[in-house]
Structure 1
Amino acid sequence: MPVALHTILRPLALWPLAAALALSGCASATAPGSAPIAPVAVPPLATAPDSPQQPADFAAWRAGFAQKALAAGISPATVRDVLGQAQWLPRVVELDRAQPEFTRPPWAYLDSAASPQRIANGQAKLAEQRTALDAATSRYGVPAPVLTAIWGLESNYGQNFGSFRTVDALATLAHEGRRRSWAEGELLAALRIVDQDHISAERMVGSWAGAMGHTQFMPTVFLVHAVDADGDGQRDIWGSIPDVAASTAHFLARSGWRSGEPWGTEVRLPPGFDHARAELSVRQSAAQWAAEGVQGMHGQPLPAMAETSILAPAGARGPAFLVGPNFRTLLRYNNAMNYALGVALLAQQIDGGPGVVAAWPRDLQPLSREQVRTLQTALNQRGFDTGTPDGVAGPATRGGLRRYQQSIGAVADGYPTLELLQQLTAQP
C-alpha cells in the first residue's frame, strides 16, 4: 500500500530503522467520508551482525538514508530487507583511497589488455556467443568484436565480476563521504534494481566501486541502458549473454557510436610533425591529416572519417594513432586513454586484424606519482603552468611540459621522462 511519507521522514531522524519502517505500514489520516484503511503489518527489521570494525555512526547513517530511499519511491520491503542488511566494508574504503605508486606506461597496460591469451579467449567467446552478439550488432550497429573486447576487459569474459555485494560497497562509499552524492545516487539505483525484480540483492555483486555484471555497469547506467534481449522480463547482465550484449551495445549506440565507421588506425607521422597537436582536442578530417603527410602504417589510405585526432600515448618515440568519433565513444565507457586503446586493439585482433606495429619505448622508466608531482611543481615554478600538482600526468601537465620542451629546443611531445625530470630539478 502507499507509504505515508509524512509520517515516516521526521521520526526516522530519531528512531531506529526497524521502528521507522514499521510506521510505513500505517495508513495516513483517513479523508472525511472515506472507508478506513486497515494497517499493514511490517515485520521488524532483521539486520545482519555488525562488523567490529564498523564506524559507530554507520547504523545511524543507514537509518537516515532510509528516509531518502522511501522518499525516492523504494518499497518499504526493499528498504527493510536490503538496505537494512547493508554492511560497512573497510576493504572498500581502503581501495577507494589507494593510489598506485607508479604510473603505468601504455605498453604495460596494452600488453595485458590485448595479450595473446585474451585475444584467443575473445575469439572463442565470439564464436560461442555469435548469435547473441550478432543480434546486438544488428539492433544497435556496434560490431560484435568491440562488444567482445569490452566483455574481455571488464570481467575477463565473465570470469571476474568482483566479489563485493553492490549494496554493501555503495553504502560504505556513501557513508565514508569522499564521493557521497555520487555514491548515494548509485545506491538508490541499486535498490531500485532490486525493487524491480531484475536480480536479488544477494546475486547483485561486482567491483568495490559498485560496477556490476559481465560488462560492469554502474547501477544508474543499468537503469537507463540495460536491455531485456531474451524476453524473460528481466534485464540480467549477470546471467544472460543476450542481455549483456544488447545492453552494452545500447550504451555505446546512445553514447554516439557510428555504425560502419572504424575506431581509428595506427599511423606513421611525417618528419617534423608537431607533437603539440597530438591531443584529442585537436580535430580535423582524416583527409586533412593525410594532406600533412600522415600515412597508414603500410602506405594504405587513411579511413574516411571526420573529426579525427592524432594520439601518441608514449610520446614521439612510440606508436601513433589516428582516432575518430568511435574512439571517443569508447572513452564514454571508461575515460582513460589506455582503456579505450585496449578495447580498440583487442577488438581489432579478435577480428583477425593486426596489433601495434611500431615499437614502444620500453627502455623509458615509468615515473612514480611522487616524481610526477615533483615534475609538476618544478614546471609551475618555472612558469610552465600544469595546475595543482597531483601526480597525474593529464592534459594540463602535458601542455606545461610541451612548453618547457619547446623552450629548450626539444621535441614537444609532452611525455614525462626521468631525463626531463632530472633536467628540471637540476636547473637553478
Structure 2
Amino acid sequence: MLRWPIFRFCVLVLLTGCLACSANASGKKPYARDRSFQNFLSSLWPLAEERGVERQTFDRAFANLAFDPKVVAKTIKQPEFVQSIWQYIASAVSPERLDRGRQRAQAESAWLAKAKKDYGVDEGVIMGIWGLETDFGASTGDDNVIRELASLAFVHFRGDYFRDELLWALVILQEGEIEPRQMLGSWAGAMGQTQFMPSSYLAYAVDFEGAGRRDIWTSAPDAIGSTANFLDAHGWTKDLPWGFEVELPDGFALTDADSSKAAPFGDFAARGVRRADGGAFPRSNEGRLFLPAGLKGPVFLITGNFDVIKAYNASTSYALAVGLLGDAIIGGKRLAARWPTADRSLSMGQVRRLQAKLAQIGYSPGDIDGMVGEALRSALRAYQERKGLKPDGYATLSLMKQIDAEKRGSLGLR
C-alpha cells in the first residue's frame, strides 16, 4: 500500500518534476556507481542504529546488494495516453476478476466477517482493495524490497521518502517478521497481498490468525485483518457505505457545492435525488456528488468512507474501483447508467495544457502533470459555475477549447 496512487491494472505515470539526480546516478560508469551505492548504504548505519537495528541485521540485509538501474527507468515511464475512467473501471472490475473475487470471498468468509466485527469495515471494501492491489494475492510482486528501496533512496527519488521506508524495512527484518530473501514486493517497495509499505506494515499489520507473526505475504487472514485495521485507524465509519449510484431528476440544479461540500442525505432526497438501485438512503450522515464522467455518465453520492479509501491510495478512480469491485463481489451490484464510451479522452498533453491554462486565468488545477484528478475537476467546476455552465467537472475537448480561448484576467476572479 503506497501513499500515492499506484494502479495495478492500468499504466500509471509517476511524474517528479526533475529527476536530474536520478539520471546522474544511473548514468555513472558501473564501477563508480556501484562504489557510490555501497558508500550510500554504509552511510545509513547511524540512522538504522537509531531505530534499533543491530549491525548483524544491517550487514545481512545489504550483503551483495547491487543497485538496480531498471527501477529508475520505471519512475519516469510515461504512457502514450490518459486512460479514461470507464477503461480503468472495466479493467479493474472485469468478469474474470469478479469470478475470482467471489470464490475468494466465499473461501475467506469467516475472516471477512471477523474483520467486520473487530474493525467495522465492510467486506466489500476489503475485497475491492485486495483485488485491485494483487488480484487477491495472485500477483504480490517478486522484486527484492530492500534492493528496490535502496536504489530509489540512492537516487533521492521523492526526497527522503524511500530512504525512510528502507530504514523501516530494516526494522521489520530486525523484529524477525520475515527473512530478507522472502521480503518481496513491487518495484516501489509495496509488500504483501494488500501492498503495504514498510512504515504502514509496522503501524497497521496484524497477526489476525494468531500464527505468531504478521504475515501479509502468504496469509490471507493477516492481509484481510491488516487492511481492515488500516481503514479503521484512518476513520472508517461503521455501517456507512462508501457511496452508491444515484439518479438525478430532470432539471436538477447542480452546483459546485454539491460535489465539494458534504450535505445530509435528506437534503439530496428532498431535491429529488434517488438511489439507482431503488434502495433507501442511510438514515443519518451525509454525502456529496461524484461525477467522474460528468452528467453524461454514472453519478454517485459518496461518503466520508470514500475518503478513507483514498487514504489507502489517493486516487479517486482507485477509490471508485474499490467500491464498485467490492459491491459486485459481495452484493452482485452493477451500474445502472452507461459510461459515455463514445467520448474521446483528452491526451496527457491536452490535460497539461488545460491545467496550465486554468492556472494562468486564476484557478487551482493542482500539479501540471497531465493527470485528471480531483484538483482539476474542482477547478473545472468552479470555471463552469462562473460561466453559467453545469458544473460537472468533466474534462472534454470542447470545454478545453473554450478555456483555451480565455484571456488572462478576463474572468475577474476574486
TM-score with structure 1 length normalisation? 0.82
Determine the structure 2 residue equivalent to 1:30. Answer: none
1:99 matched to 2:78: yes
1:125 matched to 2:99: no
Q: Quick one: which of 279, 283, 298 aligns to 1:304?
A: 283
Determine the structure 2 residue equivalent to 1:276. Answer: 256
Does the 8 A contact of 1:264 with 1:303 survive in 2?
no
Determine the structure 2 residue equivalent to 1:218. Answer: 197
CA distance in 2, matches of 1:365, 1:52: 49
CA distance in 1, matches of 2:356, 2:320: 29
Show the 5 A alignment for 1:159-174. 159-174=138-153
Determine the structure 2 residue equivalent to 1:332. Answer: 311
Offset, 1:388: 5.5
Determine the structure 1 residue equivalent to 2:135. Answer: 156
Amino acid paired to 2:212: G
CA distance in 2, matches of 1:203, 1:286: 48
Determine the structure 1 residue equivalent to 2:293. Answer: 314
Q: Quick one: which of 181, 188, 195 aligns to 2:160?
A: 181
Amino acid paired to 2:256: A
Offset, 1:52: 6.3
Q: Deviations over 1:22-46 (max 9, x none)?
A: xxxxxxxxxxxxxxxxxxxxxxxxx
Does the 8 A contact of 1:145 with 1:347 survive in 2?
yes
CA distance in 1, matches of 2:387, 2:173: 59
Does the 8 A contact of 1:278 with 1:312 survive in 2?
no
Amino acid paired to 1:180: G
Show the 5 A alignment for 1:28-177. 54=33, 56-177=35-156
Structure 2 unmatched runs, 5+: 1-28, 408-414
Q: Quick one: which of 191, 194, 211 aligns to 1:232?
A: 211
Offset, 1:219: 0.6
Does the 8 A contact of 2:316 with 2:373 survive in 1?
no
Determine the structure 1 residue equivalent to 2:392. Answer: 413
Does the 8 A contact of 2:256 with 2:385 survive in 1?
no
CA distance in 2, matches of 1:98, 1:213: 24
Q: Quick one: which of 218, 233, 238 aligns to 1:259?
A: 238
Offset, 1:312: 0.6
Structure 1 unmatched runs, 5+: 1-49
- Cα distance, 1:115–1:275 mapped onto 2, change above 3 Å: farther
Amino acid paired to 2:61: V
CA distance in 2, matches of 1:386, 1:245: 36
- Cα distance, 1:269–1:166 mapped onto 2, change above 3 Å: same
CA distance in 2, matches of 1:388, 1:342: 23
CA distance in 2, matches of 1:197, 1:98: 35
CA distance in 2, matches of 1:168, 1:400: 40
- Cα distance, 1:406–1:264 mapped onto 2, change above 3 Å: closer
Does the 8 A contact of 1:51 with 1:87 survive in 2?
no
- Cα distance, 1:188–1:423 mapped onto 2, change above 3 Å: same
Q: Quick one: which of 177, 181, 196 aligns to 1:198?
A: 177
Determine the structure 1 residue equivalent to 2:412. Answer: none
Offset, 1:394: 3.4
Does the 8 A contact of 1:66 with 1:83 survive in 2?
no
More displaced 10-residue stretch of structure 1: 228-237 or 212-221: 228-237
Amino acid paired to 1:276: D
CA distance in 2, matches of 1:343, 1:123: 14
Determine the structure 2 residue equivalent to 1:21. Answer: none
CA distance in 2, matches of 1:397, 1:195: 43
CA distance in 1, matches of 2:294, 2:106: 37
TM-score with structure 2 length normalisation? 0.85
Offset, 1:273: 2.9
Task: Look up the SS of the partner of 1:173 in the other structure.
Answer: helix
Amino acid paired to 1:412: P
Offset, 1:359: 1.0
Does the 8 A contact of 2:316 with 2:374 survive in 1?
no
Offset, 1:403: 4.0
Determine the structure 2 residue equivalent to 1:41. Answer: none
Task: Look up the SS of the partner of 1:170 in the other structure.
Answer: helix
CA distance in 2, matches of 1:414, 1:229: 42
RMSD (CA atoms) = 2.2
Offset, 1:267: 0.4
Q: Deviations over 1:238-293 (max 9, x none)?
A: 111221111111111111122222222110123233242343x4111111111122
